[in-house]
Structure 1
Amino acid sequence: MKTYTCQCGTPLFFGNRQCVECGLDAGWCDVCSETAAVSPEGTCVSCGTSVVPCANRTTYDVCNCFVDASLAEPGTLCRSCGMTTMVPDTSLPANVRRWALLEAAKRRLLYDFRTVGYPDDQLTALPPLAFRFLSDTPDKHVVTGHANGVITINTSEADPVHRESTRQQFGEPHRTLIGHMRHETGHFFWMREIEGRRDAEATRLFGDADANPYAETMKQYYEQGPPEDWNEQFISTYAASHPWEDFAETYAFYLDMRAVLDTLRWNAPEQVQDLGDDLPSMLATYCSAGIVLNEINRTMGLTDLVPEVVPPAVVSKLQFVHDVFESLRTGVVSQS
């Protein structure tokens, strides 16, 4: 994640809404794709465009984005908020707070896509990527998941107490909002870029999804757990449950890695001097940085930032994900 700079020289971070030094409004500009300060006259300091706040920023305070004023009408949403098709009951303050956290995670996800060069038109092609953030009701439990381009996330995941309890229950080293976003978009990515296009290679690496009925396989996983040697073939225990989940977990790890490396590149370039565009270079740098990052977290009594160990079988899967992203970014089909 890049750290930006206000016109006064103060660092601006991705989630900032105001410069802490000069007091100017700040946020993500949809025009120039930068976090920037906005002048009192409503001009983005970075690109000089007249901008107005996203309607969700002014109405609900759940967004920090600005949109092109010349294209805006009352109620105009930023690109990220426009992808959310359903939200929880906004008359409940707790729902609004949780919604804000989910939107913040989604904005980081979209930044991830920029980092890996995933084309915008792949997100908007039919069926487009969309999000529903919903809360349980007395009559219905909301299941987090993906279906035909729509990602539904139960807003309880934005409650840290619930999320930590669930993390402990399922033995997950990570359970975060951005983690949910990355995992569920893995299913979208499978639908959009793998299924019907790269079936043979995906089946070779992840297994035959069609030969493993999803409901039955998941039931067996929750009853019996992963195989004892899961860590020789999979990036996580959940990845061992079904080929679709294996792909989504591998894809999510890839986005985790790219996000951390991008943050280091912008903020600690001396740590990534040998970083190349190839997967082996990325993995080596990520694992090396992970040792330091894990020790920092342990020093503060926190869980490891990079808990995964990457066996050779998973490296091959990650190479597949990397090659697909690269082919989409460059338009050149990998021969590996």
Structure 2
Amino acid sequence: MRTYACQCGTPLFFGNRRCVECELHAGWCDVCATTAAVSVEGTCLNCDTNVVACTNRTTYDVCNCFVDAATAADGALCRSCQMTTVAPDPSVHGNLRRWQLLEAAKRRLLYDLRTVGYPDDQLTASPPLTFRFLSDTPEKHVVTGHADGVITINTAEADPVHRESTRQQFGEPHRTLIGHMRHETGHFFWMREIVGHRTADATQLFGDADALPYAETMKQYYDQGPPEDWNERYISTYASSHPWEDFAETYAFYLDMRAVLDTLRWNAPHLVADLGDDLPAMLLSYCQAGIVLNEINRTMGLTDLVPEVVPPPVVAKLQFVHDVFEKP
């Protein structure tokens, strides 16, 4: 994640809404795809475009984006907020904060996809990528997942107590909102870029998804757990449950890696080399930086950020994901 700068020279971070020094409004500009300050007259001080705040920023304070004033109608939503088709009911206690966290994670996801060069028009092609943020009811439990371009996230995942309890229950090293979105977008990516285009190559690496009944293999995974040698072939225990989940977990790890390397490139360039488009160089730099990042986490009593070893079969799968991003 890049750190930007206000016109006064003060750093602006991706989630900022105001410059802490000159107190100008700030946020993500959909026009120039930059976090920038906005003048009192309503001009983005990075691209000189007249902008207006996203309606979800002014009405609910769940967004920090600005959109082009020339094309914005009344009630204009930013690119990210337009992708949310079902939002939490803000009148329910706690939902507004959950919605804020969910939208912030989604904006980071879209930044990730720009970082790896995925075309915006692939997200809006039919069926487009959309999001539903739903809460459990007495009658129905909401399952986080993806179907036909629609990603559903249970709003309980925005509750850190629930999320940590669930993480412990399933023995996961991490469980975060951005992690959920990266994983579920992997299923969307499979639908958009793999099926009908690269199915044979994917099958060689991840297995034949169509030959393994999803419900049965998932039940077996939850009943029996992963195979003993899972860490020799998969990036996570969950990846061993089914080829679809293997791909989504590998894809999510790839986005994790690219996001960390992007953050280091902008904020601590001495920790990363000029990586170009070479996957092995990226992975090596990520693992080397991981020595420092893991020690920082351990110093704070947190779990490791970067896995100590990425086995060769996983490297081959990551190379496949990387190549698809290079030539979507």
What TM-score comes out, normalization by structure 1 length?
0.97
Partners of 1:75 and 1:264 lie apart in 2 by: 37
Shift of 1:74: 1.5
Is the CA contact 1:5–1:36 (under 8 Å) kept in the aligned structure 2?
Answer: yes
Partners of 2:31 and 2:99 lie apart in 1 by: 24
Is the CA contact 1:294–1:305 (under 8 Å) kept in the aligned structure 2?
Answer: yes
Match of 1:331 in 2: none
Is the CA contact 2:37–2:44 (under 8 Å) kept in the aligned structure 1?
Answer: yes
Match of 2:208 in 1: 208
Letter in 2 for 1:64: N
Partners of 1:79 and 1:167 lie apart in 2 by: 31
Shift of 1:274: 4.4
Match of 2:24 in 1: 24
Partners of 2:309 and 2:161 lie apart in 1 by: 27
Match of 2:51 in 1: 51
Shift of 1:24: 0.4
Shift of 1:308: 5.5
Identity level (%)? 83
Shift of 1:157: 0.2
Q: Which structure 2 residues correspond to residues 116-155 of structure 1 after superposition, within 5 A? A: 116-155=116-155
Structure 1 unaligned segments of length 5 or more: list them: 329-336
Q: CA offsets per residue over residues 133-169 of structure 1, 9 Å max, x none?
A: 0111111111100000000000000000000000000
Q: Which structure 2 residues correspond to residues 84-233 of structure 1 after superposition, within 5 A? A: 84-233=84-233
Letter in 1 for 2:17: R
Partners of 1:277 and 1:200 lie apart in 2 by: 24
Partners of 2:273 and 2:172 lie apart in 1 by: 32
Q: CA offsets per residue over residues 290-334 of structure 1, 9 Å max, x none?
A: 010000111111111113531000000000000000012xxxxxx
Question: Relative to 1, partners in 2 of residues 1:206 and 1:308: Cα closer, same or farther, differing over 3 Å?
Answer: farther
Letter in 2 for 1:278: D
Partners of 1:308 and 1:254 lie apart in 2 by: 15
Is the CA contact 1:101–1:158 (under 8 Å) kept in the aligned structure 2?
Answer: yes
Letter in 1 for 2:201: E
Shift of 1:270: 1.3
Partners of 1:259 and 1:237 lie apart in 2 by: 22
Is the CA contact 2:273–2:285 (under 8 Å) kept in the aligned structure 1?
Answer: no
Partners of 1:274 and 1:29 lie apart in 2 by: 28
Match of 2:68 in 1: 68
Partners of 2:86 and 2:296 lie apart in 1 by: 39
Partners of 1:207 and 1:60 lie apart in 2 by: 45
Q: CA offsets per residue over residues 5-31 of structure 1, 9 Å max, x none?
A: 000100000000000111000000000
Is the CA contact 1:235–1:309 (under 8 Å) kept in the aligned structure 2?
Answer: no
User: Secondary structure of 1:132's partner?
Assistant: strand
Letter in 2 for 1:181: M
Moved over 3 A (4+): none
Is the CA contact 2:105–2:178 (under 8 Å) kept in the aligned structure 1?
Answer: yes
Match of 1:267 in 2: 267
Is the CA contact 1:43–1:51 (under 8 Å) kept in the aligned structure 2?
Answer: yes
